Amino acid sequence: MKDLVMELDSRGIRPLYEQIYNYIKEEIRSGKLLYQEKLPSTRSLAEYLQVSRSTVDLAYEQLLSEGYIESRPYKGFFVCQVEELYDLKDAMERGEERTEDGQARFQYDFSPNIVELSSFPFGTWKKITKETLTDDRKEMFALGHPQGDIQLRRTICHYLHTSRGVNCLPEQIIVGAGNDYLLLLLEKILGRHRSVALENPTYKRAYQIFDSFAYQVRTIPMDRNGISVDALERSGADLAYVMPSHQFPTGIVMPIGRRLELLRWAAGQEGRYLIEDDYDSEFRYRGKPIPSLQASDRMGKVIYIGTFSKAIAPAIRISYMVLPGELLECYRQNYRFFSSTVSRIDQSILDVFIREGAFERHLNKMRKIYKSRHDCLLSACKRYLKNITISGENAGLHLLLHYRGKRAEEELIRLASERGVRVYGVSETYIGRLPENWQPTLILGYAGLDEKDIESGVRILSDCI
């Protein structure tokens, strides 16, 4: 039992019970009283504080009713698990792309950043984990290679080659705890005084990350084939961050002609590089998968970045980056001292998961699920929604609705939100001013909703549009 050393002000404005309640609440919220910790009995606390027992009773009752503590028969009062109120509020205000603690305040959330977790092969993952944690493999607990364990890098290399046409050696791969970390490392490798160009609109977090670098950031308009190479050339940038397989948010799949233009731009001057974020390339619904941009690169101009967070689970913080020769050399000479950010245990589990075929089985299963949701969303939109055209529907986990009616984008979002449907606006993914003749456009992700919910969500949306 814990001592509760509080000072009560008996002449204060606040009643004693409230002071006691406030004190204990703060101790719980700040973590000084821990989950499941036992509180003193009301009798002993009353004695200790020299107040009446009913005062303490009142304070405890308040804490009980607010869920800070619970009462267990014959045992006493214990601290409950409380949500972090502060953060909850914050997350609500921010209301952006993070599943966060996934507060489902919306009945139908068409977030493009949620993935379906119910189908995750927990059993297989658990089995592999168990096999990995055997006593005779204590080297698993030592710090591994800064680029990631060679066995996992071999496996990734093979996977990237067969699935994405990526040409590389395991030596070129750096495994890291998420894309954000890999970009931070890349900032060091590329050096200062860089100027990076981003597609506009783009993935907002990538913009925020580059903006936090000692780089100049340029935004480049897109046409229906993707980033405008002329505008890129004029921008003076020496780096370009692109998503050729399925641009976010537009969903544009960059055709081969534009890819070659882009590679020519990169080859046109020393020190230029393309950063290819292949974030959701696993999912494609029509035609054959298109290889990565890196697959067409003969000059060592593409830095290829991908992640397992989307295809497996967001909690799996494992991404990878493939460095072209010159940058690899620079990394090896200057930045290998940065320790690996991924536990060897997790690396080993993932390695086995892929090599034993579980990853492919999982992908196939998810492709089916997502394809069915994709088709359902597409047909529901066509059936129920007026005044819209659809784009970006060939790949990935979201599509776009271009609206030709009279309402503003934010009005549509607000109306839907009031009815429990969360949709997202493309204008939020624009950096700087919106283009002229801007047409309201909504992003609808479908990975986190089943067919029934998709249909219901779209029907509600139709009332707002």
CA nearest neighbour of 460 among 397, 417, 424, 406: 417
Give whichever of 154 and 419 is closer to its own copies, judged by the CB atom: 154
Cβ-based neighbour number of residue 400 at 10 Å: 20
The C-alpha atoms of residue 68 and residue 58 are separated, in whole angstroms, by 14
For its own copies, give the closer residue by CB, 60 or 159.
Answer: 159
Task: Map the footprint of its own copies across residues 344-383, applying CB under 8 A.
Answer: 344-346, 355
Q: Which of 57, 95, 106, 188 binds its own copies (CB under 8 A)?
A: 188
Closer Cβ to its own copies, 345 or 415, answer by number: 345
**Chain residues 407-436 in contact with its own copies, contact rule CB under 8 A:** none
Q: Which of 190, 117, 228, 175 is nearest to 350 (CA)?
A: 175
- Between CA 457 and CA 455 the distance in angstroms is 5
Q: Nearest 5 degrees, angle CA 453-CA 455-CA 456?
A: 65
Residue 145 touches its own copies, criterion: CB under 8 A: yes
Q: Does 70 bind its own copies (CB under 8 A)?
A: no
Give me the 271-310 binding string for its own copies, x by CB under 8 A, dash otherwise: --------------------------------------x-
> In this chain, which stretch among 137-145, 228-236, 248-256, 420-428 interacts with its own copies, using CB under 8 A?
137-145
Q: What is the nearest approach in angstroms of its own copies to the Cβ of residue 126?
A: 4
Q: 78, 72 in Cβ contact below 8 A?
A: yes
212 binds its own copies (CB under 8 A): yes
Q: Going by DSSP bridges, is the β-strand pair 239-242/226-227 parallel, antiparallel, or unpaired?
A: unpaired
- Helix, strand or coil, per DSSP, at residue 8: coil
CB of 252 to its own copies, least distance (A): 24
Nearest approach, Cβ of residue 171 and its own copies (Å): 6
Cα-Cα end-to-end distance for the chain: 59
Indicate whether 334 belongs to the interface with its own copies (CB under 8 A): yes
Q: Which of 7, 10, 72, 142 binds its own copies (CB under 8 A)?
A: 142
Report whether 407 contacts 465 (CB < 8 A): yes
The stretch near its own copies (CB under 8 A) out of 57-65, 121-129, 276-284, 369-377 is 121-129
Q: How far is the CB of 292 from its own copies (least distance, A)?
A: 17
Distance CA 182, CA 174 (A): 8
The DSSP element (H or E) to which 326 belongs, if any, is helix 325-334
- Phi (first) and psi of residue 46, to 5 degrees: -60, -45
Assess 163 for contact with its own copies (CB under 8 A): no
In this chain, which of 4, 8, 64, 150 binds its own copies, going by CB under 8 A? 150
HSE, CB side, 13 Å, CA atoms: give it for residue 61.
7
Residue of 3, 5, 13, 214 interacting with its own copies (CB under 8 A): 214
Q: How far is the CB of 439 from its own copies (least distance, A)?
A: 27
